[in-house]
Structure 1
Amino acid sequence: MLSRLAKRNCRLVKSVRPIVPTAIVRFQSTTAEPKEVFTKLSDTADPQRSQFFQYTWGSWLTDDKLKKKQRETVFSIEGISTLVDELNGHKGDGTINTPKQLKDGTSILSHNLNEEILGKLGQGTSKLLIKSIASVYEGKHHRIYKLLLSTGKELALRIPYKLESDFAISAKIKSEVATLDFLNLKLGLNVPKVLAYGESKSNQLQTPFILQEFIDGSLLMKNWNPLLPDSEGSAKHLKEVIDPIADFNDKLLSITFNKYGSLYFKNDVDVKLQSDLPYEGETDNVLANRWRIGPSVERPFTKNKGKLTKAQIEQYSGPWTNPVDVITSVADIELENAKTRLSLVQADAGEVTSEDLLKKQVTTFEHFKQIGAKLLNPTSKSIMNVEELFKPRLYVPDLDPLNVIVKDGEHYFVDFEGATIKPFILTNYPNFVAYHGAKVFDLEQDIPGYNEMDEVEKQQYEFMYYKTRNERLWEVELNNKRHDLIAVASPHIKLLKSPYIQTLEMKSDKDYLYIEGSIIQLQAMWDSYVANELTNTSESEFPVEYTEAELDQHQTDLQEFQLETVSTPFAASGGWIPQDIFNTLKEQGIIVETEDGQYKLETEKMLDEEPKQD
């Protein structure tokens, strides 16, 4: 019965995010490899030094100067040079000690300071020097510089962008370093070893940072072809990327924790939390007293929360012992954020977002708050192994081939920003395989008239099929490794947790429409879910009341937003354009700078001309 209802319900509300098949994207970057930018360490007047800190990998149509300013990663080159030599003086025998704070505020992990990572000084040499610094990666959240040492060894210096509050950046750095330390020492996984870190700008680099070993290899992403046509060897080729990530994820799931939140070193959490062990059964006293669970640094508690105070955020960010609180806290902080921003607009106090849009956000998050605690039943007899699904487990949101480096046949995993401990039932599949659209398992059987369609129409359905296939391959691996957790693949579980997942994935202010849509979508099946004890309530009445006018207005707003997204070039990337494409389109007059310093697309010219690629 539930499967029939699911099919019926999926036709009622089309609230999934629009997906543009990559096969028909018109503009594609031609830059195959990032260009390294060097500066002379001894020359503070080097003209390259300014560019060395500036964001160069793309431009935005709106607020380009501001967004690039937020992504400047200025640090003291003299400071990092001094720190590296100082680290060489702290080399130890590998004994695992608590992180040590230097006089300048930098924290070091002395057990990682060894010749394998730092190298050995030559005879007659007393200082460890940096021979060169190269900018090698400009990501969404941080920039990476490669340091070449006088010993021939290389280190990676990660500098976060100034996209969030100092408090959020500090918490994320402390948690990520502790998570890397846990994965290395407790689970023995291939992750970079951290040498030193600064949670704030109060250090000799004058910026928050993480200094870790540099893993030199090729990205696993080079082997990932998500639109690979089916053939005799296609599944094997896709699994060459999926399997190592699934193996890593399986090891993450091997530890069950005592609370929900994020990992930190013991001394980095409130003293009231320091007596609580993170997990049971640790026989090594050094490790037993090394980590603790503190507030969550997952995206809702850090991203776009610059208008909230530290006290406001700490009120909702955990840690928690009740799994339901993991959901309700997300609803609470998003509602608090929307209300705070709305009050700033009404007071004309620096918030420029539309008042009407923020009012609609407030309404949506009030609806989420009404339904959040009732979405999933932690003791349901209808969910297989429900107890296992709700246990606290480590979740890494950026498991992706882009964050996997292949070196000498081994897979090394990087980027653990935002890692959190939460119920597995509330996790999402990795983005490179996750698919929220309509499922197509067989093109000819599921799509009437497929063989008679033109090539463009076929491509759209083929895209849906490939996305369905890739997600299915991930689920097969999950089932093979952790059959006790496979209930997470149930379409009913996915539907029930959709308001929570959609909130985690908010990228723009208008994405509240997808959250509202996911709540509306539950209405048709709510009584069946209650009857089957899937929900955390015995009341069959839907928790949110909608009028017909409200439903019609939401559908209109959603359709307009989806049309805007699919019809506006670069809307899906927030107006960000890879720099080589931006330069080409600007030269051709397709991108034009306006008097107020913004950029606009000359859409008519864009349709008339096929842009040339250098």
Structure 2
Amino acid sequence: MSSGMPCHVGSRRLVFNLLVASASPSLCHPRSSLRALYCSCSSFITAPTRWLPRRALSMMVHSRNDLFDYTSGRWLINDALRHAERRRVFNIDGLRRLAAQSVDRSPDDIFDFAKLAEGGFNRTFLITMRDGFQMVARIPYPATVPKYFAVASEVATMTLLRSSGLPIPKVYGYSPTLDNAAESEYIFMEFVRGTKLSDVWADLEEREINSVLRQLTHLESKMMSITFPAGGSLYYAQDLEKVAGGPPGVPVEDERFCVGPDTRLPLWFGRRSQLDVDRGPYDSAETALVKGAHKELSYLQQYGQPLLPFQRMRRAAYRYQEQQPSAHIENLHRYLLIAPSLVPRDPTLAQFCIRHPDLQPSNIIVSRTPDSKWQIVGLIDWQHASILPVSLLAGIPQRLQNYDDPISQLMTPLSLPENLEDLDNAEPSRAKELYHRRLVHYHYVKNTEECNKLHHAALNEPAGTLRRRLFDHASEPWEGETLALKVALIEAAENWQTLTGDDAPCPVVFDAEDVRETMKLDEVQRGKDEILEAFNNMFGLGPEGWVPTDHYEEVVARSRQIKEDGMAAAESEEERTEIATHWPFDDMDVTD
């Protein structure tokens, strides 16, 4: 058996069985609840890869903590590195001066300058003037990519969409370079008064959930109805002209703006930002479908080397052996063979539009109206927004979907279980959480059907979800596994006519035994992912192992104890070495 096939040796399961035993309901972290899921500064489920956007914010209104350092939490994994990545030294007086100038004020008018929030890519500050006027200053961390394009594109995106009637903060000033008095890139913008939807989401009644989602889908309809002549990301034409050697932008109807390089994070992660590859603008849906795969092929050909899977929980299935990039290269070539056939037959689903890149409750600001209804007053965090075919942008936002639940898939009217009071221990809470997830999923889809016909058509497109999976996996940075892309390719071959509407045979063919072994491996890895998710939930971990500062020592001690228990229970030196080397919550080398 090749090293890429599943390993079913019992000793390999020791560490995972240990984690399962540890992740019991009695040990669950007190923050592991529906309210915590929406109100916490971070998601409880660690992102499956190191490159995925980490946008969660920790609020610290009027904090006097160090303005240069990350002070919102700790990381169970690579704590020192994560803090170093987020340390940003800038000229405080220079930033204050530029902020005041952007709103025609004097620096002397500034009464308070305080850290407001810290996310995965940026640090924000609340600036308060003596007359009570407030504004936000935001600067990216040094590791935030793409340089220049991320700031320039977000500003243009916010400005264009605001001019189209969407509730987006007004931009007062910005710089996509370090060449300014602040010695940092920055954006100055309007401070939107209101409440993050995540702070109240878990407490809303069904009619309120329906009302908010109706507003949201109406706003999505408005933004997705704006069509563009090309794909990529949006810029001020004058900003794109300043990039030496860059591709010319494609003008849009408002001549101030143009479409330029795509800022989606997978295209720029790590050394990929150094690649001289075409990231847009895209002149067709087919071009948009293939450029991410071309980027990853270029990266692997230039920098590719054998790697252990980044997620250490998944390494046992590969016998703890490094995986060759050649397997992923082969699957990328397979994807490129079928990509031309993935263009939707319906031309309206192939047209270019824009959508919020991370539409989660913490990025939606709401406020009470005089009649006590919740109204959406702000959509924030537009970094890495891209312009793509409708068919590729479609989908229920991650924090609003409940796809894995059969009841949600049926789209039937919902009600709470009648025997709720008879359930034991934590069961009532779990039942309410599930009911809430089903409600959100149901009302998002129903309101999309009524308010956003274009998006609803894309949601109902046969095999549309499979197309988006293929596109996403082909664009993702390779991190020692090609399984997700290969599984999607196998499903494409098996559902070719549904996917393409074409009677021609699929150009990609898999051997029956290869399919059997691949799907078997996928089943094994899904089980490992569930164990990891349970462990993360137990401790309330966020992206990359984020944990609140006041729980850090407790979580470190618990992880260390479980590891020591596993090593003590190991039946051989080999098992002890595997646990010591591949423990999923120790520091690790993340060199790209």
Unaligned runs of 5+ in 2: 1-22, 41-57, 309-319, 370-374, 568-592
| Residue 35 (structure 1) aligned to one of 51, 60, 71 | 60
Equivalence map 1:144-543=2 (5 Å): 144-165=124-145, 168-185=146-163, 187-225=164-202, 234-270=205-241, 276-279=250-253, 288-302=254-268, 304=269, 306-312=270-276, 315-343=277-305, 355-356=322-323, 358-376=325-343, 378=344, 380=345, 386-407=346-367, 409=369, 410=375, 411-427=377-393, 428-441=395-408, 467-490=437-460, 492-500=462-470, 502-503=472-473, 509=479, 512-526=482-496, 528-529=497-498, 534-535=499-500, 538-543=503-508
Contact 2:154 2:385 in 1 (8 A): yes
Contact 1:443 1:462 in 2 (8 A): no
SS in 2 for 1:191: coil
Task: State the match for 2:580 in structure 1.
Answer: none
Alpha-carbon offset, residue 268 of structure 1: 2.1
Could you report, residue by residue, the CA deviation over 1:303-362 in whole angstroms, capped at 9, with x for unpaired residues? x2x2135452xx33111121111111122223333444425979xxxxxx9851644443
Distance 1:212 1:145, change over 3 A: same
Alpha-carbon offset, residue 174 of structure 1: 0.3
Distance 1:149 1:507, change over 3 A: farther
Alpha-carbon offset, residue 547 of structure 1: 5.2
Task: State the match for 2:113 in structure 1.
Answer: 133
Contact 2:136 2:190 in 1 (8 A): yes
Structure 1 CA distance for aligned equivalents of residues 336 and 527 of structure 2: 25
Structure 1 CA distance for aligned equivalents of residues 442 and 62 of structure 2: 41
Structure 2 CA distance for aligned equivalents of residues 149 and 295 of structure 1: 37
Distance 1:495 1:543, change over 3 A: farther
Could you report, residue by residue, the CA deviation over 1:540-583 in whole angstroms, capped at 9, with x for unpaired residues? 23524345146414532552364155246238733222333324
Alpha-carbon offset, residue 241 of structure 1: 2.9
Task: State the match for 1:566 in structure 2.
Answer: 531
Distance 1:583 1:56, change over 3 A: farther
Contact 2:295 2:475 in 1 (8 A): no
Equivalence map 1:48-197=2 (5 Å): 48=65, 51-87=66-102, 113=103, 128-165=108-145, 168-185=146-163, 187-197=164-174
Contact 1:375 1:536 in 2 (8 A): no
Task: State the match for 1:7 in structure 2.
Answer: none
Give the TM-score of the pair, scaled to structure 2. 0.72
Unaligned runs of 5+ in 1: 1-20, 40-47, 88-112, 119-125, 280-287, 347-352, 381-385, 594-599, 606-614
Structure 1 CA distance for aligned equivalents of residues 412 and 470 of structure 2: 34
Structure 2 CA distance for aligned equivalents of residues 462 and 514 of structure 1: 32
- What letter matches 1:289 in structure 2? E
Distance 1:547 1:160, change over 3 A: farther
Structure 1 CA distance for aligned equivalents of residues 148 and 274 of structure 2: 12
Contact 2:214 2:451 in 1 (8 A): no
Alpha-carbon offset, residue 248 of structure 1: 1.5
Contact 1:79 1:205 in 2 (8 A): yes
SS in 1 for 2:304: helix
Could you report, residue by residue, the CA deviation over 1:425-476 in whole angstroms, capped at 9, with x for unpaired residues? 1113222223442532479999xxx99x987899889867754553332221
Could you report, residue by residue, the CA deviation over 1:274-304 in whole angstroms, capped at 9, with x for unpaired residues? 684313xxxxxxxx321111111123323x2
- What letter matches 2:147 in structure 1? I
- What letter matches 2:92 in structure 1? I
Contact 2:140 2:185 in 1 (8 A): yes
SS in 2 for 1:307: helix
Structure 2 CA distance for aligned equivalents of residues 61 and 218 of structure 1: 30
Distance 1:539 1:444, change over 3 A: closer
SS in 2 for 1:320: coil
Distance 1:189 1:543, change over 3 A: same
- What letter matches 2:525 in structure 1? E
Distance 1:189 1:371, change over 3 A: same
How many residues get paired?
490
Distance 1:28 1:265, change over 3 A: farther
Distance 1:78 1:572, change over 3 A: closer
Give the TM-score of the pair, scaled to structure 1. 0.69
SS in 2 for 1:569: helix
Alpha-carbon offset, residue 508 of structure 1: 8.6
Structure 1 CA distance for aligned equivalents of residues 27 and 122 of structure 2: 27
Alpha-carbon offset, residue 240 of structure 1: 3.2
Distance 1:246 1:445, change over 3 A: closer
Distance 1:222 1:275, change over 3 A: closer
Alpha-carbon offset, residue 518 of structure 1: 2.1
Alpha-carbon offset, residue 263 of structure 1: 1.0
Structure 2 CA distance for aligned equivalents of residues 253 and 155 of structure 1: 28
Structure 2 CA distance for aligned equivalents of residues 59 and 507 of structure 1: 25
Q: Which has the higher contact order (CA 8 A, sep 6+)?
A: 2
Contact 1:437 1:464 in 2 (8 A): no
Deviates more, 1:490-499 or 1:196-205: 490-499
Equivalence map 1:591-602=2 (5 Å): 591-592=559-560
Alpha-carbon offset, residue 144 of structure 1: 1.1
Equivalence map 1:548-563=2 (5 Å): 548-549=513-514, 551-553=516-518, 555-556=520-521, 559-560=524-525, 562-563=527-528
- What letter matches 1:176 in structure 2? E
Contact 2:306 2:325 in 1 (8 A): no
Distance 1:318 1:544, change over 3 A: farther
Alpha-carbon offset, residue 489 of structure 1: 2.0
Task: State the match for 1:577 in structure 2.
Answer: 547
Deviates more, 1:425-434 or 1:551-560: 551-560
